[in-house]
Protein backbone atom coordinates (compact mmCIF):
# COMPACT_ATOMS: atom_id res chain seq x y z
CA UNK A 1 0.00 0.00 0.00
CA UNK A 2 1.20 3.49 -0.74
CA UNK A 3 0.59 6.45 1.52
CA UNK A 4 1.48 10.12 1.33
CA UNK A 5 3.65 11.54 4.12
CA UNK A 6 4.75 15.17 3.88
CA UNK A 7 4.53 15.12 0.10
CA UNK A 8 6.50 11.88 -0.30
CA UNK A 9 4.92 8.61 -1.27
CA UNK A 10 6.06 5.80 1.00
CA UNK A 11 5.34 2.11 1.00
CA UNK A 12 3.24 1.20 4.02
CA UNK A 13 4.36 -1.51 6.44
CA UNK A 14 0.80 -2.84 6.67
CA UNK A 15 -0.16 -5.19 3.87
CA UNK A 16 -3.61 -5.31 2.37
CA UNK A 17 -5.92 -7.86 3.97
CA UNK A 18 -6.15 -11.15 2.10
CA UNK A 19 -9.54 -12.25 0.90
CA UNK A 20 -10.76 -15.19 2.96
CA UNK A 21 -12.05 -18.16 1.04
CA UNK A 22 -13.97 -19.88 3.84
CA UNK A 23 -15.88 -18.73 6.86
CA UNK A 24 -15.54 -20.59 10.17
CA UNK A 25 -19.26 -20.16 10.87
CA UNK A 26 -20.09 -21.89 7.62
CA UNK A 27 -17.96 -24.91 8.55
CA UNK A 28 -19.49 -24.99 12.04
CA UNK A 29 -22.94 -25.14 10.42
CA UNK A 30 -21.86 -27.93 8.08
CA UNK A 31 -20.47 -29.92 11.01
CA UNK A 32 -23.63 -29.43 13.05
CA UNK A 33 -25.81 -30.45 10.11
CA UNK A 34 -23.77 -33.63 9.65
CA UNK A 35 -24.06 -34.46 13.36
CA UNK A 36 -27.81 -33.90 13.39
CA UNK A 37 -28.27 -36.06 10.28
CA UNK A 38 -26.13 -38.80 11.85
CA UNK A 39 -28.20 -38.59 15.05
CA UNK A 40 -31.47 -38.86 13.16
CA UNK A 41 -30.13 -41.82 11.18
CA UNK A 42 -28.99 -43.51 14.40
CA UNK A 43 -32.43 -43.03 15.96
CA UNK A 44 -34.17 -44.40 12.87
CA UNK A 45 -31.90 -47.44 12.66
CA UNK A 46 -32.15 -48.33 16.35
CA UNK A 47 -35.93 -47.86 16.29
CA UNK A 48 -36.18 -50.10 13.20
CA UNK A 49 -34.22 -52.79 15.04
CA UNK A 50 -36.76 -52.68 17.84
CA UNK A 51 -34.53 -50.92 20.38
CA UNK A 52 -36.93 -48.13 21.23
CA UNK A 53 -35.39 -47.28 24.61
CA UNK A 54 -31.96 -46.89 23.07
CA UNK A 55 -33.45 -44.83 20.23
CA UNK A 56 -35.00 -42.46 22.75
CA UNK A 57 -31.69 -42.16 24.62
CA UNK A 58 -29.84 -41.36 21.39
CA UNK A 59 -32.52 -38.82 20.44
CA UNK A 60 -32.30 -37.07 23.82
CA UNK A 61 -28.50 -36.88 23.73
CA UNK A 62 -28.43 -35.74 20.09
CA UNK A 63 -31.02 -33.05 20.76
CA UNK A 64 -29.26 -31.87 23.90
CA UNK A 65 -25.90 -31.66 22.14
CA UNK A 66 -27.30 -29.87 19.09
CA UNK A 67 -29.26 -27.37 21.18
CA UNK A 68 -26.24 -26.66 23.39
CA UNK A 69 -23.96 -26.08 20.41
CA UNK A 70 -26.53 -23.90 18.65
CA UNK A 71 -26.69 -21.45 21.55
Does residue 4 register a pLDDT over 70?
A: no
Residue 3 clears pLDDT 60, i.e. is over it: no
Q: What is the pLDDT at residue 57?
A: 97
Q: What is the pLDDT of residue 10?
A: 56
Q: Map 9-57 to HEC letters.
A: EEECCCCCCCCCCCCHHHHHHHHHHHHHHHHHHHHHHHHHCCCHHHHHH
Give tens-digit pLDDT for 27-65.
888 999 999 999 999 999 999 999 999 999 999 999 999
How far apart are alpha carbons 9 and 53 in whole angstroms? 74
Q: How is the chain split into domains, by residue range?
A: 23-71
Amino acid sequence: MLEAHNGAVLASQVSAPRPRRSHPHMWWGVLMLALVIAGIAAVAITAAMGLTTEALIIAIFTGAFASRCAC
